[in-house]
Amino acid sequence: MILSHTLTQFKGNKSRTMNYLDELENKTIYILREAYASFRNITLLWSIGKDSSTLLWISRKAFFGKIPFPIIHIDTTFKFKEIYEFRDIYSKKWGLDLIVSKNKSALKEKINPKKSKLECCNALKTEALKTTLREYGFKALLLAIRRDEHGIRAKERYFSPRTIDFTWNYQDQPLEPWGFYKSTIEDEEHIRIHPMLHWTELDIWKYIKKEKIPMVGLYFAKNCKRYRSIGCQTCCVPIDSNANTTTKIIRELETTKIAERNGRAQDKENSYTMQKLRSLGYM
């Protein structure tokens, strides 16, 4: 892989980029197929964001147009209406076996971001996910996190075991030398699988452009504002931007020095809080 990437550098920027994107895709497809071969009781988490939508797209390619396992969408009820509209349209168009996960008891208790974003995320996302995984007996969960997205996520592995209570021991992760992955777990565990750890935000947008992947409109600038990272509407702030096409977004990312998740709720995004959330099972 290193040799082929080096050789293509002499063939011009376009050729080098295309081959590099192919390498990224091929590695992700390999991990997806390895995961499905190891765990048939597997599912994929789809937030409708750019990363999980790209993973969903690659999963369709990996399994020849039809994903052979269910897809989970966690509905906090606080997400943008555009997210719900996109989900409903494309889950039908792509023939997805979609599971909508809600923590109904927490919603009845009126848990919301205004009280505590840490409590809200844990209850409406993590606990909702825990309940759904137990209800359906899933032992493996595919996620579209990337190492460059947040310092805490950089500690992850491609195959990352979780305990019976879904906690993540980030200080004791399996080694993954030379592409060898720990694709087995104990009976009391489940495993998180991250096929896109090696991608960057810029890679994602270049691949979206190459593949013409549909994306929710929130990412594209309107009235000089756009969202770079999306989730619950109450926890996202748009950035100043004129990038209203994928090409313009790529150009913007090539020069920006602002962190990707800078527009997310900062009391949730600081390293200590994010590490605490992820140790409890947060995505």
CA atoms within 13 A on the CB side of 117: 15
Burial of 126-164, coded b for 16+ CB within 10 Å and e otherwise, reads: bbbbbebbeeeebbbbbbbbbbbbbebbeebbbbbbbee
* Assigned domain for 209 exists: no
Which of 70-74, 148-152, 204-208 is least confident? 148-152
Which of 4-8, 152-156, 163-167, 262-266 is least confident? 4-8
* Assigned domain for 159 exists: yes
Query: Which is more confidently placed, 244 or 283?
Result: 244
Which pLDDT value is given to residue 205? 98
Which pLDDT value is given to residue 223? 98
Q: How confident is the model at residue 171 (pLDDT cuts 50, 70, 90)?
A: low
Q: Which residues, in sequence order, are bridge partners of residue 273?
A: none
Quote the CA–CA distance of 267 and 116 in Å, as a whole number: 9
| Antiparallel, parallel or unpaired: β 42-45 and 98-101 | unpaired
Which pLDDT value is given to residue 2? 31
* Assigned domain for 119 exists: yes
Domain count, the chain: 1
Q: Distance between the two ends of the chain, CA-based, in angstroms?
A: 30
Q: What CATH number does residue 189 fall under?
A: 3.40.50.620
Quote the CA–CA distance of 128 and 76 in Å, as a whole number: 9
pLDDT for 118-170, tens place per residue? 889 889 999 999 999 999 999 999 999 998 886 675 678 899 888 877 777 66
What's the chain's average pLDDT? 85
Task: Tabulate helix, strand, coil % of the chain (nearest 5).
Answer: 50, 10, 40
Quote the CA–CA distance of 84 and 216 in Å, as a whole number: 10
* Assigned domain for 244 exists: no
> Sign of the C-alpha dihedral, residues 80, 81, 84, 88?
negative
CA angle 20, 83, 75 (to 5 degrees): 110
The range of the structural domain enclosing residue 24 comes to 2-201+270-279
pLDDT for 231-259, tens place per residue? 999 999 999 999 999 999 999 999 998 88
pTM, to two decimals: 0.85
* Assigned domain for 117 exists: yes
Work out the average pLDDT over 177-189.
64
Q: Report yes or no: 209 and 250 within 8 Å, Cβ to Cβ.
A: yes
Quote the CA–CA distance of 110 and 81 in Å, as a whole number: 20
Quote the CA–CA distance of 101 and 143 in Å, as a whole number: 15
Residues 6 or more apart in contact with residue 85 via CB below 8 angstroms = none
Phi, psi of 210, deg, nearest 5: -60, -45
Quote the CA–CA distance of 148 and 155 in Å, as a whole number: 10
Which of 7-11, 22-26, 187-191, 226-230 is least confident? 7-11
* Assigned domain for 8 exists: yes
Residues 6 or more apart in contact with residue 22 via CB below 8 angstroms = none
* Assigned domain for 242 exists: no
Q: How many CB atoms lie within 10 A of CB 10?
A: 8
Closest CA to 21 of 31, 32, 8, 33: 8
Work out the average pLDDT over 85-99.
98
Q: How confident is the model at residue 275 (pLDDT cuts 50, 70, 90)?
A: low
Quote the CA–CA distance of 227 and 249 in Å, as a whole number: 11
Grouping H, G, I as helix, E, B as strand and the rest as coil, residue 140 is strand
Q: How confident is the model at residue 4 (pLDDT cuts 50, 70, 90)?
A: very low
Q: Which residues, in sequence order, are bridge partners of residue 191?
A: 140, 161
Which pLDDT value is given to residue 283? 54
